[in-house]
Amino acid sequence: MIVDTSGSVSDAELGAALLEIAAIVRAVGGRRDLVSVLSCDAAAHITHQLCRAERIPLVGGGGTDLRTGFAEALKGNPRPDVFVALTDGQTPWPDERPPGRTIVGLFPRHRPPDENNPGYVPDTPPGWARVVTVG
């Protein structure tokens, strides 16, 4: 799992991400060894071993580039067969589909236009990803 921890993600959204992680662990029968979590802003940050979802240290707060999270996840051994990215969508996406199913959990946003960049529209997740709303 890749959790967007950039500065544009609120504490409430990070809380929703932790709830999603806990739900996924329950869905795999409590097998925490089957779930790896990476915090990712402009760089991927390895988290500690998953003990309890509510105690995962989520590191970040800078810009966003989830491509680094996908690249780091691909270094895992074994390689993941499912990628889950929890994000506000304000990120560039990998050019190529990762080797496995990809699910993007988007935090719902009703944000006012950005005064500094009024024409900014986040990139939509790629067509190869299944998109769901989180929270």
Domain that holds residue 66: 2-133
Closest-CA residue to 91 (of 116, 51, 120): 120
pTM score of the predicted model: 0.83
Instruction: Point out which residues pair with 132 in neighbouring strands.
Output: 105
Total domains present in the chain: 1
Q: What is the structure's pLDDT at 127?
A: 92
Q: What is the structure's pLDDT at 97?
A: 93
Mean pLDDT in order along the chain per 10 residues (135 residues): 89 89 85 82 71 57 84 87 92 92 87 59 84 88
Q: What is the DSSP letter of 103?
A: E
Q: What is the structure's pLDDT at 37?
A: 87
Strands 2-4 and 38-40: what pairing?
A: parallel
